[in-house]
Amino acid sequence: MSKLVTIYGGSGFVGRYIARRMAKHGWRVRVAVRRPNEALFVKPYGAVGQVEPILCNIRDDASVRAAMQGADAVVNCVGVLNSIGKNSFDAVHHDGAGRVARIATEEGVGQLVQLSAIGANAESESEYARTKAQGEEDVQAAFPGAVILRPSVIFGTDDQFFNRFANMTRFGPVMPITGGDTKFQPVHVDDVANAAELAVLGQVEAGVYELGGPDVETLRESIDRMLTVTQRRRLVVNLPFGIARLQAGIFDLIQWISGGLIASPLTRDQVTSLGYDNVVSEDAKGFADLGITPRAMAAILPDYLWRFRVSGQYAAIQNSAKNLRTDI
């Protein structure tokens, strides 16, 4: 019988790419998610019955164990960008990661891959970064052979980075941002999935790997790149951190009053994170150690940001028409 991998959060932005890659290897893929009915799109990634979404709540031992039964490898992609209700940073990034690792050891799983993030630091002022680090510690304590992947900001067709900023261009001539001088090293989602794939196949030594693309640039430079691709002109205003924290505090209050029904578009914790560079450390293991050449943004962004151009898919035709001679 073919091998089985359980991917917690396998219908998410990164998880779906890992699921697709493992299906191509002939593995059976179990996609463990809270809402299986919303993850049915993963089924065509493989043959009939090869990729199956199942119900799982990473906060519950019995649920995590049931999803792991018979698995040869496990990948944990579950993460949140906004701490809401029971799905808090601590419950998901810290306790959830440790739970998966502990049960993986008890179940005799062969390989464990944990998706973390660059900037994970147990002493960080950011709760997101702090709980990511605490999760890493618990994973390594319970499963010493685990491979931990720390990507920088991830870009791709369904990302929450370039798509989010590109969508902002539709609402006016001014784009307010925070942390414009903070450096990022955007990495393509399928390159991260490739790293996870190698780890699941047992071709990666245990340890922590920081994953960043070939381009290091500030947030402001990334915004300028997006504006060039979308062919829009906007005034980008870099708000001081004090003003951004005040604004985020109001958003957080609205989120709290609504009981999480109205999610904060910018949280105070995100503002804190924007105060730190998000690039690969000089002494860190990374793509080179995995034999992977990461793809540049220039080769990918036009493939999915074209929809934010004023003329959408017709922008190239329209631009070409401007060069037609009218004196013939």
Averaged over successive runs of 10 residues, the pLDDT of the chain (328 residues) comes to 94 97 97 96 95 96 97 97 91 97 98 97 95 97 98 96 94 93 98 98 97 97 97 95 93 89 90 95 96 97 94 65 60
Is 103 part of a structural domain of the chain? yes
pLDDT for the residue 261 = 83
Per-residue pLDDT at 326: 56
pTM for the model stands at 0.93
Number of domains, the chain: 1
Residue 144 belongs to some domain of the structure: yes
Supply φ then ψ for residue 187, to 5 degrees: -125, 140
Calpha distance 99→93 (Å, rounded): 10
Q: What pLDDT, on the 0 to 100 scale, is given for residue 227?
A: 97
Residue 42 within a domain: yes
Give the pLDDT of residue 85: 86
Rounded CA separation 175/234 (Å): 6
Q: Which two tokens stand for residue 244?
A: 């951004």
90 domain residue, yes or no: yes
Is residue 300 assigned to a domain?
A: no
User: Has residue 70 been placed in a domain?
Assistant: yes
The confidence score (pLDDT) of residue 182 equals 97
- CA angle in degrees (0–180, nearest 5) for 93-95-100: 90
- The label of the residue with tokens 């690792």 reads 101
Q: Which residues contact 84 (CB under 8 A, 6 or more apart)?
A: 255, 260, 263
Residue at 263 is within a domain: no
In this prediction, residue 310 carries a pLDDT of 86
Residue 39 included in any domain: yes
pLDDT value for 316: 66
What domain range is 35 assigned to? 4-156+185-216+278-293
Q: What is the CATH number of the domain that holds 129?
A: 3.40.50.720
